[in-house]
Structure 1
């Protein structure tokens, strides 16, 4: 049985076909009329329909959920804040995962064959890497933004400006895209694996090999911003606790209006930090098992079974659909924006000035 090669984070792994790479006469092939075709290992009709339904639902949720986030933030003037611009750019990365990665991975996972050509195989892996890293760097900058907002909410608007937000967005995208395209485009990822790639090459496979050195680099590019986010949100949590105790201790006292306003702003910023912290936690839960397994596989001889890999990669993909659900659950303004978009009220004149906040 031939296993499709993993995305570029991984050192390429394929399970050897039957003895001496010669498939049995009854084996199905990805391309029946072509020599050198990969062996196809299709699911039976029932599981195939279920898998297409589950993966297809993920694609639809990812595309339309993140599209609603982007439309909401860009259309309604009240949402034009530096933090929300970061969130919209993050939603763009998730949206592109739903458009350029997940549909093709659906066919690959269910049919066990790659039908989209060698060129798009490389682009597919580049897109996957670019958008994953773009997401994590956006989340890293969002965590720093929330730290500034919680520690000094009154000065925050002058410290984290739209220009600074734009620089963070540009850095996140440029670093992610340049790194991913350079790694695949130069062939550095396959250095030392040429014999393996040649031996496992077949028509209908998508073979993007990454050697142990670059697998480690990939993991560090994930782990370092992850560690920063964990530290930052731990500090935010401790600060939020202190602020909450301060507000409780002053609730029975007469306070100046400035202090009262500061407390209201601090409460709002803590709530935003909590919601975005949930998005970070969801990202880590989704992607951390994938990256840990990539390290294990690269250094222990590709020991992960195919079905385990498919589970891990789709858990990671589904993270792109989770952020809109988190926003819908925690943000009343997002729920109101969705209603306005779905009902078509955003097409009315001056709809961009509608007040989305209850307070």
Structure 2
């Protein structure tokens, strides 16, 4: 009897830790040593603060000085705003998930966080693409630059960047287009309680990329 009790305790001690011990289908939890957790929290907090403060400085500078109110700087302003939101909104929950190796903020907030993550990263990428187009015309076609890259055209492109990115980010996550056709595999092998992963199948990524770039005229037949 004592042997069985000892064996049962040993099995319980050797069983891998879970995010939710009382729930079926819970994700496995990786427990970092205390010193490593403290170091990771400090690192992520510093990175988040630097991201927020650096981009906030760019935003304030462009808004404050009127001589910086140019189409190129408005594109940089849009890029800085997206990166500011990444540092202030996306990175803190990601920090908790990375250090604790579990998601404890609920399913709804997981979807919101994932949507914001995809949206803001898409905005940053699209802004960089538009900035490259802006620089191309400024260097290769300087005589046409001011007639093409007007303030209205810049505002339109910024609006397209944010609108399309929001449609892709929130649409794909909340409509679950990323797991379309592989729902059984996803819920059997990927989804678990305490997890928050962004899962995309290949055709969804391709469709999202095409739909994101086409309005900007960056794809050619």
TM-score, length basis structure 1? 0.52
Question: Pick from 169, 186, 193: which aligns with 1:203?
Answer: 193
Question: Pick from 36, 39, 60: which aligns with 1:50?
Answer: 39
Counterpart Cα distance in 2 of 1:42 and 1:218: 36
Question: Pick from 208, 214, 219: which aligns with 2:204?
Answer: 214
SS in 2 for 1:183: helix
Where in structure 2 are the equivalents of 1:169-208 lying within 5 Å? Answer: 169-200=158-189, 201-208=191-198
**Which one scores higher on RCO, CA 8 angstroms, separation ≥ 6?**
1
C-alpha deviations, 1:16-71, integer Å up to 9, x for none? xxxxxxxx623333234445432211111222222222222211111111111111
Find out whether 1:137 has 2:126 as its counterpart.
yes
Counterpart Cα distance in 2 of 1:47 and 1:223: 41
1:25 alignment partner in structure 2: 12
- The runs of 5 or more residues in structure 2 that have no matched partner are 1-10
Shift of 1:208: 4.0
1:74 alignment partner in structure 2: 63
Question: How large is the RMSD of aligned CA atoms in angstroms?
Answer: 2.5
Find out whether 1:59 has 2:51 as its counterpart.
no
Contact kept? 1:193, 1:209, Cα under 8 Å: no
Counterpart Cα distance in 2 of 1:196 and 1:134: 30
1:164 alignment partner in structure 2: 153
Find out whether 1:97 has 2:86 as its counterpart.
yes
Counterpart Cα distance in 1 of 2:179 and 2:30: 26
C-alpha deviations, 1:199-257, integer Å up to 9, x for none? 243321114432232134356678999xx6xxxxxxxxxxxxxxxxxxxxxxxxxxxxx
- The runs of 5 or more residues in structure 1 that have no matched partner are 1-23, 229-359
Aligned residues between the structures: 204
